[in-house]
């Protein structure tokens, strides 16, 4: 696991925790602000990708999809910013989809811990599976009230973030231990 990947996973996990806390404290207001923030981040990321695509001179960058990815990120960000009111109605489903995808990645990390002989893999795998099920429940929205969905989304995001930080730290410790013993 590279340092960049580790830091990205920790930053994402911290962001999940912050969004979850915001949803718990201000369920109605925060989902709109989260859409604005995510949209602005998408637009900024898209602009950076497009600029990098046209300014990099190395041969490998000519065959990448930086411009297309950048344009897609800008479009997605603009949808989040300008259609945020409509998107807040499906916020729990979107949060559920994000949690499902994130949980699948964490389940893979738990399986990697198992394959490397990490003793803590059952805990990581258990939390990944619990979050996967919780995300699936949000995705299919069996809860009737939007407010309740927002609170449950907040809980799920906090737990997803905490699980991510824990799994990344366990993976990093095991990799360090394996590197020292070789």
pLDDT at residue 8 in the model:
85
Summarize pLDDT for 38-48 with one digit per residue, the tens.
899 999 999 99
For CA atoms 72, 77, 82, 87, the dihedral sign is positive
- Per-residue pLDDT, averaged over 105-123, amounts to 83
Can you give the pTM of this predicted structure? 0.54
Is residue 27 very low, low, confident or very high in pLDDT (cuts 50, 70, 90)? confident
pLDDT > 60? residue 143: no
CA 149 to centroid of chain Cα atoms: 18
Summarize pLDDT for 73-104 with one digit per residue, the tens.
999 999 989 988 777 767 777 778 888 998 99
Count CA atoms within 13 Å of residue 35 on its CB side. Answer: 21
**CB-count exposure of residue 52 (10 Å: 0-12, 13-18, 19+):** middle
The CA distance from 13 to 102, in Å, is 10
**Average pLDDT score, the chain:** 83
Instruction: Judge contact between 98 and 135, C-beta under 8 A.
Output: yes
pLDDT > 80? residue 35: yes
Nearest 5°: phi and psi at 78?
-65, -40
Q: Where are the domains of the chain?
A: 3-181
């Amino acid at each position: 696991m590279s340092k960049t990947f580790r830091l990205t996973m920790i930053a994402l996990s911290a962001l999940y925790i912050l969004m979850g806390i915001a949803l718990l404290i201000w369920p109605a207001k925060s989902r709109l602000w989260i859409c604005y923030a995510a949209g602005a981040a998408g637009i900024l990321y898209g602009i950076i990708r497009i600029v990098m695509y046209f300014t990099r001179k190395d041969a490998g960058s000519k065959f990448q999809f930086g411009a297309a990815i950048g344009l897609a990120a800008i479009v997605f960000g603009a949808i989040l910013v300008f259609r945020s009111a409509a998107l807040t109605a499906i916020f729990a489903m979107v949060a559920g989809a994000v949690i499902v995808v994130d949980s699948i990645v964490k389940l893979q990390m738990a399986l990697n811990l198992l394959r490397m002989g990490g003793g803590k893999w059952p805990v990581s795998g258990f939390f990944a599976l619990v979050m996967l099920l919780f995300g699936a429940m949000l995705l299919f929205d069996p809860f009737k009230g939007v407010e309740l969905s927002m609170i449950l989304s907040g809980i799920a995001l906090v737990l997803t973030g905490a699980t991510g930080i824990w799994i990344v730290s366990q993976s990093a410790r095991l990799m360090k231990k394996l590197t020292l013993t070789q």
